[in-house]
Every structure is written in C-alpha cells, then in structure tokens.
Amino acid sequence: MAEIARIVEALLFAADAPLTRAQIAEAIPEATVEELEGALGELARFYDDSGRGFCLAAVGGGHQLLTRPALSPWVERLLVGRRRQRLSRAGLEVLAVIAYRQPVTRGEIETVRGVDCGASLRTLLERKLIAVRGRARAAGHPLLYATTDRFLEHFGIADISELPKLEEFAALVDREAARAEVREAGQGEATAGPADAQGEAAQGRAAAPELAEDEGPGEPLGAAEADADAPAEPAAPGSADAAALAEPADAGAFVRSGGGPAGAGS
C-alpha cells in the first residue's frame, strides 16, 4: 500500500465523522489532488478485495470507514448492552416530513401529522439532525427547518437526493419504533436483522448512541428554537399520507438565511 494511502487510512480511522476531500488535503498538504484520489480508490479496492469487515463509503459529502451491512446483526449484539435510546415514532415521523418537504415550517409539519410537534423539533435540533434555515414570508415569519449533514451521516447517504423512496423510509420508521418499543418492554436482546442494512443501519452501523427519545415539556430551549416549545406529542393517528409527505413545499414563499441549499450541513 502506498504511503499516501496509509496516511489517508489513518486519518479516516481517527476521524469521528466523514472527512471531505478538502479536509484530507488540508491534513496532507504535500500530496497532490491526483495522489489523494488514487489513495481513496486504492483503499476502497483493498478493503473490498481482502474481504474486510468494513468498507470506505461516501457519506454526507465525505468519506468514512463503516462496518459492512451484512455484519450489522453482530455489531448490534455487541452494542445492545449499552444504554442508548432511539428517536420515538413521533420524532421519526417529524424527521420524515422535514426530509421530504424541506424547507418546512412547524405549522406545515403539524398540518401533515395532525398533532403538535414541538418536543420532537426540540430533540431533532439538539441532536443536530435538523437545523433552522431561515424564516418563511408568511405572517409571523415562522422558522424554516431542513435536514443537516448529520442526518445524512446517520442514515448512511451521501446526498439528500439519495433519499430512499418514501415507502422505504416509512418502513424504516416502523422498524425503528418497533425496536424502541421492544427495549422499553425490557426485551433488550432484540437485534437488527439483515433487512435493517438500509436506513439507520446503512453500511452496517449500529444506532448512533447519542440519539434520544423525545423529551417531555420543561426542557430549556435556545433562541433559535423558541417556537418549538411544546409538550411531548403522540405519534400521529396513523402513518402520514405518502402523497402529503412527498409534495414539495412552495419554494417561492420562503426566504432562506445563509444562501445555502436546503439540506446543507449545520
């Protein structure tokens, strides 16, 4: 293996998040763009050809070493004893609405789901899965929410355009909620199956330990999410209508801050 490839491998191993090519180039200024491209390709081929339990994946606009999807049941089994919580069904439903309609206001989310979403918005903001992307031009100028690079990393996709079909994402919501309910019932031995390789367990990752259930009322809010203050909400009385989730928001009615595209990282 070339020396540049070994250095890139060390950087990827030490990083706790995907590394962009710019970050890798900054850490290895003596390497040319062609050498870095070659190193990434060499590493990817090496891991594939040698049958390693991990691979080099394009995630969230960068590159990251991830365990392989087929091995996720064993990875989950190793981590099942750790105290970790997942997003509730309500949180996942809110995240789905934002992902497929972004940028979107709290009022629009609640119109789709039919219930209050304040607590879920607060949790998603705290976990950096969503971020405020400006204000709508509607009365009161409500905040606009969109997904972040952290969202892409968590679900194992490189770009928001790679979101799975809405039906697949809805199936993920159901699986995540069911697994959370199993743990709450004291059956912590439940583990992910091979079918869970897509979605949150994409590329074989176990659930991110910092993801938590939606908090109840009374949690302090930052200034940016002040309009998200509300009691913890129940899951909507049924899965959100696919057409309603997929319908794009009226982009002409919004004004964004920062000038970046919807779904850009925080």
Q: Kindly state the average pLDDT of the residues 213-221.
A: 38
Confidence of residue 182 (pLDDT cuts 50, 70, 90): low
Q: Kindly state the average pLDDT of the residues 247-252.
A: 39
79-256 matches 3-67 in CATH topology: yes
Q: Looking at residue 233, what is its pLDDT? A: 54
Q: Is the pLDDT of residue 14 over 60?
A: yes
Helix (H) or strand (E) holding 147: strand 143-147
Q: What is the CATH number of domain 79-256?
A: 1.10.10.10
Residues paired with residue 145 on neighbouring β-strands, in sequence order:
104, 132
Q: Looking at residue 76, what is its pLDDT? A: 82
Q: What is the DSSP string of 175-204?
A: HHHHHHHHHHTT-TT----GGGGTGGGGGG
- Of 11-15, 127-131, 185-189, where does mean pLDDT reach its minimum? 185-189
Q: Looking at residue 176, what is its pLDDT? A: 66
The domains of the chain are located at 3-67, 79-256
Query: What's the pLDDT tens digit per position in 60-95?
Result: 889 999 999 899 889 888 876 554 556 788 888 899
pTM of the model as a whole? 0.47
Q: What is the CATH number of domain 3-67?
A: 1.10.10.10
Residue of 144 and 222 predicted with greater confidence: 144
